[in-house]
Amino acid sequence: MSLADNVAIEVQMLIGNLYAVRIKIPDTAVYLDGVIDLFEDALTEPTEDKIKLVADEMIELNKYFNVLTSKMPELKPAFMPSYELTNHLLGPT
């Protein structure tokens, strides 16, 4: 399996995690729906620009999770799988 295939699988896992967060915490739907659409579009028709947008959005997604969990620590377990997967996909920064 190629590196691109592995990344695509991990992005699909992330999309699944985001759907789970969206269901558990409906208030996140406004933001997460756009993120999920972007990620799905990039998987369907990957381009260099879309991949850069996905990486940028992953950084913003982690910031979003950090803000929400700082205000409501009880949400951290719902966000952790997505947070850890975005960190893994982004690699060391």
Domain boundaries, the chain: 3-87
Closest CA to 10 of 62, 92, 85: 85
Is the pLDDT assigned to residue 3 strictly greater than 90? no
Average pLDDT over residues 66-87: 93
Average pLDDT over residues 49-59: 95
Distance, CA of 75 to CA of 55 (rounded, Å): 23
Distance, CA of 50 to CA of 70 (rounded, Å): 30
Name 42's Cβ contacts closer than 8 Å, sequence gap at least 6: 11, 50, 51, 53, 54
Name the token pair of 85: 């997967």
Mean of all residue pLDDT scores within the chain: 93
Is the pLDDT assigned to residue 87 strictly greater than 90? yes
Model confidence over 6-51: pLDDT tens digits? 989 999 999 999 999 999 999 999 999 999 999 999 999 999 999 9
